[in-house]
Amino acid sequence: MQPLPAEGQINNALQSRFAIVVNRSYGNAVERNRIKRQIRSIVATLMPQIRQGFAVIIFPDTTCKAMEYNHLVVSVKNVLRKSGVLRQ
């Protein structure tokens, strides 16, 4: 049995969490950090539309390198919508 969350942690337990994992095969550190920053920015702008209580791991593949930022936004939205994390 897990202990109940402290009073200040109740809202944090309901909030969705995101992790962005990029393999070394994606590219050098600059490329890996850039895609992580871009996806973090996209997720931050979508937070008001995201349902609570989800833990999401995002694995961008090498096709994301060639994408423009606007296309990446559309792709992330579609993935989150299909998975049921993003409200319609």
CA distance 65 to 34: 10
What integer pLDDT is reported at residue 1 of this predicted model? Answer: 47
CA distance 36 to 51: 21
CA distance 50 to 66: 27
Query: What averages of pLDDT result for each successive group of 10 residues across the chain (88 residues)?
Result: 51 80 94 96 94 93 93 95 90
Q: With contact defined as beta carbons under 8 Å apart, do 86 and 49 qualify?
A: yes
What integer pLDDT is reported at residue 4 of this predicted model? Answer: 47
pTM over 0.85: no
What integer pLDDT is reported at residue 8 of this predicted model? Answer: 54
